[in-house]
Structure 1
Amino acid sequence: MGRRRAATDPSYPRWIWIATAATVALLIVGGAFVLRTLIFPAESGLGPTAGNDNGPPAGAPLAQDSPAAVAGSSPCISLNILTSLENAEMVRSVAAEYTAKPRSVEGKCVTPALTQEKSGVAAGKVAKQFPGVTAGDRPAIWLPDSSAWLRIAKESADGSPDPEAGMSIARSAVVVAMPETMASALGWDSKPPSWSEVFRMAGDRDVWERLGHGDWGKFKFGKASPLVSTSGLMALTASYGAAGGSLGGVDSMDLDASSLVEKVRAVELGTSHYMATPEHFLWHAREADEAGKVSEFLSAVIVDEKSVWDYNRGVVSEDGITKRSGPPPKEPLRAIYPHDGVHVADNPAVILDGDWVGTQQRLAAQDFLKFAVTEHGQNVVKASGYRTVQGKLDAGVAGTGRYAEALQPLPLPKAEALVAMQDSFPEVRKRARALFLLDVSESMVQEPGVTKLQRAKDAVRKALDHFTGEDEVGLAAFSHVDDGPLQPGIVSPVAPFKTNKADLLGKLNDLKAVDATPLFEAVSRFTGEQAKEYKDTFINTIVLLSDGKNDSTHPGDLGGLSEQLSHQNHSTPVLVFTLAYGPDADVPTLLEIAKASGAHYYDATDPNRLEEVLGELVTSF
Structure 2
Amino acid sequence: MSAQTRNRILFTVYTLFSVCVFVAALAYPPVRPLAPAPLRDWLGAQTSALVSSFNLPAVFAGRVTIEISSSNTKEDWMNAVAEKFNAEQHAIASGQIIEVKVAHVTSGGSQKAILDGKSTPTVWSPGDQSWVDGANEVWVDRTGRPLVPDLCPPTVLAPIGFSMWRPMAETLGWPDTPISWDDIARLSADPEGWAALGHPEWGTFKFGHTHPDYSNVGLLMMTALAYSIEGKTSGLTADEVYSADVTEAFAAVELNTYHYGVQNRPLMQVLAQRGPQYLHAVTSSEAETLKTNAEFADTMRFPLVFIFPAKGTYWSEQPYCLLDADWVTPEQREAAAIFRDYLLAPDQQSLAVDNYVRPIDQSISLRAPLSLENGADPRVTRDSVPALASPTAEVASAVKDVFHQTKRKATVMLVIDTSGSMEGEKIRNAITSSVNFVKRLHPDDEIYAFGFGFPEFVDLGGGRAGDISEGLIDSLNGMFANGNTPLYDAVCEATSRMNQLKADDEADGERRLYGIVLLSDGADTSSARSENQMFDCLPSGEDAAGIKIFTIAYGDDANKDVLLRIANRTNGKNFAGDPETIESVYNSISAEQ
With normalisation by structure 1, the TM-score equals 0.76
Deviation at 1:220, TM superposition (A): 2.6
- 2:411 counterpart (422, 431, 434): 434
Shift in Å, 1:208: 4.7
Cα distance, 1:272 vs. partner? 1.6
Tell me, in whole angstroms, the C-alpha distance in 2 between the residues paired with 1:550 and 1:455.
22
1:234-273 mapped onto 2 (5 Å cutoff): 234-242=220-228, 244-249=229-234, 251-252=236-237, 254-255=239-240, 257=242, 259=244, 262-263=247-248, 264-273=250-259
Classify 1:414/1:523 alpha carbon distance in 2 versus 1 (closer, same or farther; 3 Å).
Answer: closer
The answer to whether the 8 Å contact 2:158/2:317 transfers is yes
**Does the Cα contact within 8 Å between 2:233 and 2:386 map onto a contact in 1?**
no
**1:145 is the counterpart of 2:127:** yes
User: In 2 relative to 1, CA 125–241 (structure 1 residues): closer, same or farther, beyond 3 Å?
Assistant: same
Q: How far off its partner does 1:333 sit?
A: 1.5
Distance in 2 (alpha carbons) for counterparts of 1:280 and 1:470: 27
Q: Is the 8 A contact 1:77 1:111 kept in 2?
A: yes
- Percent identity, please: 22
In the alignment, is the contact (CA less than 8 A) between 1:79 and 1:113 conserved in 2?
yes
Deviation of residue 250 (structure 1)? 5.4
> Where does the alignment leave 5 or more consecutive residues of structure 2 unmatched?
9-56
Residue 581 (structure 1) aligned with residue 554 (structure 2): yes
- Deviation of 1:236 after TM superposition, in Å, equals 1.8
Residue of structure 1 equivalent to 2:293: 312
Offset of residue 509 of structure 1:
2.8
**Is the CA contact (8 Å cut-off) linking 1:398 and 1:404 kept in structure 2?**
yes
Residue in structure 1 matched with residue 396 of structure 2 by the alignment: 419
1:221 deviation in Å?
A: 1.2
Structure 1: unaligned runs, 5 residues or longer = 1-65, 289-293, 316-325
Note if 1:499 corresponds to 2:467.
yes
Question: After superposition, what is the alpha-carbon deviation per residue over 1:269-322, rounded to whole angstroms, capped at 9, x for unaligned?
Answer: 33223211111212223432xxxxx1243211101111112111117xxxxxxx
Residue number in structure 1 paired with 2:70: 83
> 1:148 touches 1:415 (CA, 8 Å); kept in 2?
yes
Counterparts of residues 524-603 of structure 1 (less than 5 Å): 524-534=495-505, 537-550=511-524, 553-555=527-529, 558=532, 561=535, 565-566=539-540, 569-570=542-543, 572-603=545-576
Residue 329 of structure 1 deviates from its aligned partner by 4.1
Structure 1 residues 342-381: aligned runs within 5 Å = 342-381=313-352
| Structure 1 pair 302–497 and aligned structure 2 pair: CA distance change class (3 A) | same
Structure 1 residues 582 and 167: alpha-carbon distance in aligned structure 2, compared to 1, 3 A threshold: same
Equivalent of residue 166 in structure 1, options 152, 167, 172: 152
Distance (whole Å) between structure 2 residues aligned to residue 410 and residue 164 of structure 1: 22
- Name the residue aligned to 2:592: 620
Cα distance in structure 2, aligned partners of 1:343 and 1:379: 21
How far, CA to CA, are the matches of 1:416 and 1:609 in structure 2?
A: 29
Instruction: Give the letter for the 1:467 counterpart.
Output: L
The C-alpha deviation readout for 1:43-85, integer Å capped at 9, x for no partner, is xxxxxxxxxxxxxxxxxxxxxxx99434461123323222122
C-alpha contact 2:69 2:103 (8 A) present in aligned 1: yes
CA deviation vs aligned residue, 1:156-203 (integer Å, no higher than 9, x gap):
436746747211110011010012233344444553421011123234
- Aligned match of 1:456: 430
How many Å separate the matches in 1 of 2:80 and 2:514? 41
Q: Check 1:145–1:572 CA distance in 2 against 1; reply closer, same or farther (3 A cut).
A: closer
Instruction: Find the aligned partners of 1:304 and 1:613 in 2 and give their Cα distance.
Output: 26
Match of 1:61 in 2: none
Check whether the contact 1:472–1:496 (CA below 8 A) recurs between aligned residues: yes
d(CA) in 2 for partners of 1:204, 1:127? 42
| Residue type at the aligned position of 1:612 | S
Deviating more after overlay: 213-222 vs 118-127? 213-222
1:607 counterpart = 2:592: no
Indicate whether 1:282 and 2:268 are aligned.
yes
1:484-521 deviations in Å (ceiling 9; x for gaps) = xx6344x323x322112123223323445453411442
Once the two structures are superposed, residues 230-269 of structure 1 have per-residue CA deviations (whole angstroms, 9 ceiling, x without a partner) of 1011122023224x43252452451474635642344433
Q: Which amino acid is 1:98 matched to? A: F
Deviations 1:75-129 (A, max 9, x none): 233232221222233222222233444534215232222223221222233335x
Name which one, 1 or 2, has greater alpha-carbon Rg. 2
Match of 1:339 among 303, 310, 325: 310
Alignment counterpart, residue 100 of structure 2, candidates 112, 121, 146: 112
Alpha-carbon distance in structure 2 between the residues aligned to 1:216 and 1:561 = 29
The change in CA–CA distance for 1:313 and 1:509 in structure 2 (over 3 A counts) is same
Ranked by relative contact order (alpha carbons within 8 Å, sequence separation 6 or more), the top structure is 1
Q: Provide the aligned length of Structure 1 versus Structure 2.
A: 523
RMSD, matched Cα: 3.2
Task: Find the counterpart in structure 2 of residue 515 from structure 1.
Answer: 484
For 1:502 and 1:463, how far apart are their aligned partners in 2? 13
Alpha-carbon distance in structure 1 between the residues aligned to 2:429 and 2:318: 39
Specify whether residues 329 and 256 from structure 1 end up closer, same or farther in structure 2 by C-alpha distance, changes over 3 A only.
closer
Amino acid at match of 1:111: E
Amino acid aligned to 2:124:
W
Aligned equivalents of 1:416 and 1:608: distance in 2?
32
Indicate how the Cα distance of structure 1 residues 205 and 238 shifts in structure 2: closer, same or farther if over 3 A, else same: farther
Report the secondary structure of 2:302's partner residue.
coil
Of residues 458, 462, 466, the one that matches 2:440 is 466
CA drift of 1:346 comes to: 0.3
Shift in alpha-carbon separation, 1:163–1:120, aligned structure 2, 3 A:
farther
Distance 1:593 1:209 in 2: 34
Query: For 2:214 and 2:309, how far apart are their aligned partners in 1?
Result: 24
Shift in alpha-carbon separation, 1:126–1:521, aligned structure 2, 3 A: closer
1:225 corresponds in structure 2 to 211
Inter-partner Cα distance in structure 2 for 1:228 and 1:346: 18
Q: 1:358 to 1:416 in 2, by over 3 A?
A: closer
Please give the secondary structure, in 1, of the residue aligned with 2:428.
Answer: helix
Counterpart of 1:470 in 2: which secondary structure?
Answer: coil
Contact 1:314 1:328 in 2 (8 A): no
Deviation at 1:421, TM superposition (A): 2.7
In 1, Cα distance between equivalents of 2:192 and 2:557: 42
